[in-house]
Amino acid sequence: MDANKRKIVVAALEAGWAFMSEMANDEDEGREATDHRKKPRSNRRKFRHGDARHCINRDYLGIRGDLATPLLGAEFKAMFRVSRSRFQVLLEDIGASEIRLYQKKKNLDVDEQASLEAKLLLPIKTLAYGVPPHTFIDYFQMSPEYARECCRQFDIAVKKIYAQEYRRLPTSDDLRSILQLQRHVHQVDGLFGSLDCSHTIWKNCPKAWAGSYTGKPGSPSIILEAVVDYHMFFWHASYGYTGNIGDLNVLAQSPLLERMVDGSFHTLENEASVVPFKIGDQEFTKCFILTDGIYPKFSRFVKGVKEPITEEEKKYTAWQEGARKDVERAFGVLKCTWQFLDRPILKLKLSEVAMRTTCCIILHNMLTADRVMGDPRARYVPCASLDECPERTFKMSKEGL
């Protein structure tokens, strides 16, 4: 046998031997697996509940350290719209509430729960950026369902805890303070605030309602009516009107008109001892609100001259239009800060839209009070910082009103 044939035979034998060895190893492994299955259950490894969540728990621990702590005061407010001191107040108040979502579960270890900070920062960030809750689930390590539940419960908690303070009707002390603020800024007595309406587009409005909700913007919208002071604090906010009705029809359905008709405003003025007051030599017995030309000719509504001719009319109209910019600024700041109201609303239920809008207004009034008072725990007093408020360049005379 020559050398080439010998090499071929040796290679074939080696390949056959390798194949037989692999078959033997497979049989041994199968036998070991069979023996393992025959072992009693007591000798098998016991899997504990929660073993698969170790990596998620580590994310929870990491997110508690990285969520908001590294951010400085200005960076925190720019990202979440609320100051760090105000957020600490929210943590304390909502954490101490009886709402089940914010209560610590006693049957679970603390590391296996989403932190209270995450439960609050997620809904605040969704309101600030006007996006659905599931947008930030990768950052906050929550499921979409849990993120939506956090947003719903946050709206309920804010309204339940803070509505009495930041959506209150003005008291006699508030009315005196408001009139003092308006007198300092706008140089006129008796001015309560400015009234106007704003539309928010409802993208996911049900098709059956689209006709009645389609109005000025050209698409389904919901109307917000508000009265604000110079600091842009909402003293009256009524929401939920269909977009196809005008401001005049909104007023006809508004609680503001009811309080004017039933004498609540007049009783409040008498308790505050702010009437009668004088502008020039003329005496007035009612406080007034600045409006545009579409509103009716009520004694409490002061409008500009449609076509001013004389110098007094031009001067008065310029003053009225400038002072009424308070409500325009308020709507602009509200929608810019909480872009949920400025972007097309994606929710389907009107009740959820109204709840989220109420939450935005309460948070807006919180920020206004913090800016004026400087203390998150202080009650809002409109005339608390008159030295920082500018004065108008001219004063009204009796011909103006």
The span from the CA of 125 to the CA of 77, in Å, is 11
Q: Calculate the alpha carbon distances from 212 to 33, 208, 226, 241 in Å.
A: 70, 9, 22, 10
Model confidence over 49-59: pLDDT tens digits?
544 444 444 44
Tokens coding 160: 């339940």
For residue 191, give the nearest of 384, 322, 362 by alpha carbon: 322
Q: Which residues contact 361 (CB under 8 A, 6 or more apart)?
A: 167, 234, 237, 239, 334
Confidence band of 186 (pLDDT split at 50, 70, 90):
very high
Q: What is the DSSP letter of 293?
A: T
* Segments in 67-114 forming alpha helices (H): 73-80, 84-95
Residues of the chain with pLDDT > 70, as a percent, come to 77
For residue 173, give Cα distances in angstroms to 270, 272, 285, 286.
12, 7, 18, 17
Residue 289 in this model has a pLDDT that exceeds 80: yes
Length of the chain, please? 401
Pairing mode of beta strands 191-201, 221-228: antiparallel
On whether the CB atoms of residues 193 and 289 are closer than 8 A, the answer is yes
Quote the CA–CA distance of 58 and 388 in Å, as a whole number. 48
To the question of pTM greater than 0.85 for the whole model, the response is no
Return d(Cα 90, Cα 398) in angstroms, integer: 47
Q: For 110-151, give the DSSP string.
A: GGGS--HHHHHHHHHHHHHHT--GGGGHHHHT--HHHHHHHH
Residues near 323 by beta carbon (within 8 Å), at least 6 away in sequence: 186, 188, 191, 194, 290, 392
Q: Is 113 exposed, middle or buried (0-12, 13-18, 19+ CB in 10 A)?
A: middle
> Beta strand 288-290 with 282-284: parallel, antiparallel or unpaired?
unpaired
10 Å CB burial of residue 15 (0-12, 13-18, 19+) is: exposed
In the three-class reduction of DSSP (H, G, I as helix; E, B as strand; rest coil), residue 167 is classed as: coil
Among 181-195, 228-242, 258-272, 274-288, the least confident range: 274-288
CA 283 to chain centre: 43
* In the block, residue with structure tokens 């590391």: 111
d(CA 162, CA 236): 15
Model confidence pLDDT, tens digit, residues 338-350: 999 999 998 888 9
Q: What is the pLDDT of residue 101?
A: 86
From residue 392, alpha-carbon distances to 187, 230, 284, 382, 389 in Å are: 6, 12, 22, 17, 10
DSSP string for residues in 361-373 = HHHHHHHHHHHHH
Q: How many angstroms separate the CA atoms of 377 and 46, rounded?
A: 53
pLDDT beyond 90 at 324: yes
CA pair distance 32, 302, nearest whole angstrom: 94
Q: Both tokens of residue 173?
A: 């002390």
Report the pLDDT value the prediction gives residue 7, as an integer from 0 to 100. Answer: 66
pLDDT given at position 122: 94
Hey, CA dihedral for 115, 121, 124, 125, is it positive or negative?
negative
Q: What is the pLDDT of residues 103-133, one digit of tens each?
A: 766 554 444 467 888 899 999 999 999 999 9
